[in-house]
Chain A
């Protein structure tokens, strides 16, 4: 059942009866959506379904043709971070650009510098130095895009297709960052047609179909903890890497490296089995939750 509870408690931003028309075409019709504080909401739908428009309405940068947008009452203005589906190729270096965005957002200079250093290093852009963003690859631009959105520690983070066209390692880096932000309490809304991402991270999935909310599914809060086990297994073939122990949610191979996602309480059994099979364990990390109940 679609969740149309526009007046749900703890809603940070609410759209009620929201309609958006462009050139006499209804892009969104009668959308009722309450973005609840602390949740990581995925907006899914096919290309042109109205996901990006919905994000812009939530951000307050698109005007409603009819309906209403309400922000929660708060002693301080609710800071919003927004990342469009792609940044243009700008004539700024990443650091310059982020400094400007931080300053415009009102971040104190010293705090901004610390945050910029941290994120540039974390997402592997620290080496770009004076290179202007017009020379960046798509992945690099997406990283800069995500950094500008999170830099000022927004309470509501709106991301439009942040994983589109990225290679696996960049996706992992960005997923890790989002997971941390969500764990830290940031309310996140991501428009994406990447179901894998939705399954791995989202607390809630809102599907847009023909400009309307087709489904609105909230996953149970008490979900399984999941660990990611990365192991090197020389000579392994993809077919051999299929789930071994019970509790393995999925696995992916990259060369001779295999990444298993496994229910936390069953991870020891998997580790034992891998070691016995002659694998080297490279990393074991804790995921926040497993999306599917």
Chain B
């Protein structure tokens, strides 16, 4: 697995496809922290959502990056499609975990907040960033050329899912009471963001439940993707 990770990383690094999303990631974060002081959890809510969007972008550009013929070769050498797909998730997961750590640590280290956040706040913020980053990767993995009729349809589908995931709160409020439960099928991005904004008001148990649910949602998405890849092959 280590060899596969190293190879995929070098392949990705030499493609330069990461440049645009990374610049797009850094820009707004540096901009909002260019003025001080900033409210702690509101700022984290923004950077967590932004991490979700950028992780989806990175994933969209990476999942189908390897040329098809070379992908066949790599999979034959790996001897398992599941291993190959798991390696891609692991690589993206690691890269976006680093981005999440930066997003959480940067404002603390450079004194960009109106107060120093406590360990529970920083810890929950980091977990929220990580979960949203990985949800972004998993969501985008389903919207690639390989599985959609065309690249433009895939992109359209992905943008729709990102929009509903981020703006789900407004949509949920407009739905009749009986249909609201269906919104739990939507990636819980807006719920995590809302929890960060209302951090002081939400009981700890509810935060734990939400993060646990999000982790399960993520695991289900990744498992579904790997299972589908292993069955459909090429």
| Distance from B85 Cβ to chain A, minimum over Cβ atoms (Å) | 13
In the complex, the number of residue pairs spanning A and B with C-beta atoms less than 8 Å apart equals 70
Query: Interface extent on A, as a size class?
Result: 20 to 34
- Pairwise interchain contact B3-A104, C-beta atoms closer than 8 A: yes
B34 surroundings in chain A (CB, below 8 A): none
A61 touches B67 (CB 8 A): no
Which of A80, A85, A103, A149 meets B69, CB within 8 Å? A85
- Cβ-neighbour of B234 out of A56, A88, A101, A103 (below 8 A): A56
Residue numbers in A under 8 Å from B69 (CB-CB): 84-88
* B residues lining the A interface (CB < 8 Å): 3-4, 6-7, 10-11, 14-15, 67, 69-70, 72-79, 81, 231-234
Q: Are A63 and B232 CB-contacts (below 8 A) given A82-B76, A103-B7?
A: yes
Known contacts A56-B72, A82-B73, A84-B69; can you find 10 more A-B pairs with CB under 8 A?
A61-B81, A63-B231, A77-B79, A87-B69, A92-B11, A92-B14, A104-B74, A104-B78, A149-B73, A152-B77
Contacts of A62 in B (CB 8 A): 233-234
* B228 CB, min distance to chain A CBs, angstroms: 11
Helix, strand, loop or mixed for chain B's interface?
A: helix
Query: Per-position contact with B for A107-126: 1 when CB-CB < 8 Å, else 0?
Result: 00000000000000000000
A266 within 8 A of B: no
Contacts of A91 in B (CB 8 A): 11, 14-15
Provide the bound-state CA to CA distance between A88 and B67, in Å: 7
Q: Which A positions have Cβ atoms within 8 angstroms of B?
A: 56, 59-63, 77, 80-88, 90-92, 100-101, 103-105, 148-149, 152
Alpha-carbon gap, A152 to B3, bound state (A): 15
A140, B6: Cα distance in complex, Å: 24
